[in-house]
Amino acid sequence: MENNIDDLVLNGLIQELRRGTIILAVLSQLKQPQYGYSLIVLMNEKGFDIEANTLYPLLRRLEKQGILESFWDTDGTKPRKYYRLSEYGEGVYLKLCAAWSDINRAVKHLIDEEE
């Protein structure tokens, strides 16, 4: 029982840690247009698990913020909404990457210092 609770706490913390990285991960895969489901599959293949109920609302939000642009493809049997980085989004993505490596470096430094 105690173990379960520990797991629960740990899981929560890991989720929290991951949450901040999701946007960066998603943006990294959107230089080429993708629709929601293809993006999930693609990211899962590369080892980053993301669920549809997180990704779909996120894509919409990023589009609203102007980071992504979208178009509908109605040629196939199923109409699909494709997303890709906008010009503005590309700039944002690069800055996020820089911020990420700064954080990474700093945290790594702190962790290594501990050991």
Cβ proximity to other proteins: between 75 and 115 the closer is 75
Cβ proximity to other proteins: between 80 and 84 the closer is 80
Where along the sequence are the contacts to other proteins (CB under 8 A)?
35-37, 41, 51-54, 56-57, 60-61, 78-81
Cβ proximity to other proteins: between 76 and 114 the closer is 76
Q: CB 88 → other proteins: shortest distance, Å?
A: 20
Q: CB 84 → other proteins: shortest distance, Å?
A: 16
Q: Which two three-digit tokens encode residue 45?
A: 């293949």
The 3-state DSSP class for residue 108 equals helix
Bridge partner residues of 72 (DSSP): 81
Q: CB 28 → other proteins: shortest distance, Å?
A: 21
Type of residue at 89: G
Cα–Cα distance for residue pair 51/59, rounded to 1 Å: 12
Cβ proximity to other proteins: between 55 and 100 the closer is 55
Type of residue at 11: N
Residue owning tokens 């699909």: 80
Torsion of CA 96, 102, 105, 109, to 10 degrees: -140
